[in-house]
Amino acid sequence: MKKVTVSGLLKKKQAGEKITSLTAYDASFAKMFDEQGIDALLIGDSLGMVLQGEDDTLPVTIDDIAYHTRSVRAGTQRAFVLADMPFMSYATPEQTYANAAKLMAAGASMVKMEGGRWLCETIQGLNLRGVPVCGHLGLTPQSVHVFGGFKVQGRDADKAQQLIEEAKALEAAGIQLLVLECVPSSLGKAVSEALTIPVIGIGAGKDTDGQILVMHDMFGISANYMPKFSKNYLSETGDLRKAVQQYILEVQNGEFPSAEHSFE
C-alpha cells in the first residue's frame, strides 16, 4: 500500500481528482477511515467541541492534540495525518517551534494553523526546521470572539479579494495545503484557482480541490449542532463503513457539496 504524501496530494490537484478528508481522534475510527481509502485525516481542535462538549475550540491544549495524534497515527497506515495547532499555541515563532515539535513527535506529518499574512515568518521558520504547514482561512474558529459567532466569511467583494491575497501570501511563505472554511462557493473556486497547492474546503462550495468534514457531523452524532455545510451520511446508509464510502464517492464525483450544503 502506497502512503499518501504531500506530493501525492498535489498530484491529485494537478490531475483534477478530488482530495477526501475527515477529522479523526482515535485509532479505531482512523483505521476504519483509512481502510475505506480516505486521503487525509485531521486531528482537529474541533475535538474541544465534539469530544469535550465545549462551546468553542479555545480550551483545547497542545497536550490534548498530541494525545489524540498519537492515537490516530497508531491506527493509520495509508492516509496523510495532519494535526491542528490549538488556540495561542503559535502566538510567537519560538513557541510555535516547541509546540509543533510535540505534534510531529506524536505522529503528525504536517501542522495546521489558522490565520493569514501574520503567520508567514512562522511558516518559513517551521519549513526550515523540517515541519510542513497547512494554512486555514475563512471562518477560523479560534477567532470566534473576534467574528462575534461562527459566521460565513468573505461575503463582500473587498473581503473576498483580501482573502485571496492572504492565501497567496501563505503559499509564497511555504504552506503546502490550505483549509478554507465557510466562504461563498465563488470564493472557494477563486482561491483554488489562484493557488498551486491543494485547497481543502469545508463549507466552501464544490470547486475546491478537496473536502473535509468533522467525522461526528458526517455521522450526524455531534453533541452541539449541525453546521449547514455538513451532511449526515449515516442516516442514508445505516452503516458506519457505508457512510464513509458514500461520503468519499460523493466528494470524488462532485455530488457533495451540493447547493444546500454551500453558501452563496
Ligand X SMILES: Nc1nc(=O)c2c([nH]1)NC[C@@H]1CN(c3ccc(C(=O)N[C@@H](CCC(=O)O)C(=O)O)cc3)CN21
Ligand Y SMILES: CC(C)C(=O)C(=O)O
Q: Residues within the annotated binding site for Mg(2+)?
A: 45, 84, 114
Q: Which is nearer to ligand Y, 6 or 212 (CB)?
A: 212
Residues within window 159-218 making contact with ligand Y, judged by CB under 6 A: 179, 181, 202, 212, 214
> Interface with ligand Y includes 23 (CB under 6 A)?
yes
Which of these segments, 37-45, 167-175, 180-188, 210-218, binds Mg ion (CB under 5 A)? 37-45
Q: Distance between CA 231 and CA 228 in Å, rounded?
A: 8
Taking CB under 5 A as the criterion, the residue among 39, 64, 84, 207 binding Mg ion is 84
CA 187 to chain centre: 17
Q: Distance between CA 230 and CA 221 in Å, rounded?
A: 12
Which of these segments, 37-45, 88-96, 182-190, 232-240, binds ligand Y (CB under 6 A)? 37-45
The binder of 40, among ligand Y, ligand X, Mg ion, none, by C-beta within 5 to 8 A per type, is none
Residues 6+ apart with CB under 8 A from 68: 25, 26, 43, 47
Which of these segments, 2-10, 42-50, 62-70, 229-237, binds ligand Y (CB under 6 A)? 42-50
Q: Which is nearer to ligand X, 44 or 75 (CB)?
A: 44
Binding site for ligand X (CB under 6 A): 46, 49-50, 57, 139, 141, 150-152, 182, 214, 216-217, 222, 224, 227-229
SS3 category, 219 = coil
SS3 category, 111 = strand
Find the shortest distance in angstroms from Cβ 116 to ligand X.
Answer: 18
CA dihedral for 192, 195, 200, 204, sign (positive or negative): negative
199-202 and 110-114 as β-strands: parallel, antiparallel, unpaired?
unpaired
User: Of 166, 171, 181, 250, which residue is the catalytic one?
Assistant: 181
> Interface with Mg ion includes 64 (CB under 5 A)?
no
| Preceding omega of 93 cis (within 30 degrees of 0) | no
**Is 171 one of the catalytic residues?**
no
Burial class (CB in 10 A: 0-12, 13-18, 19+), 53: exposed
Catalytic positions, written as ranges: 181
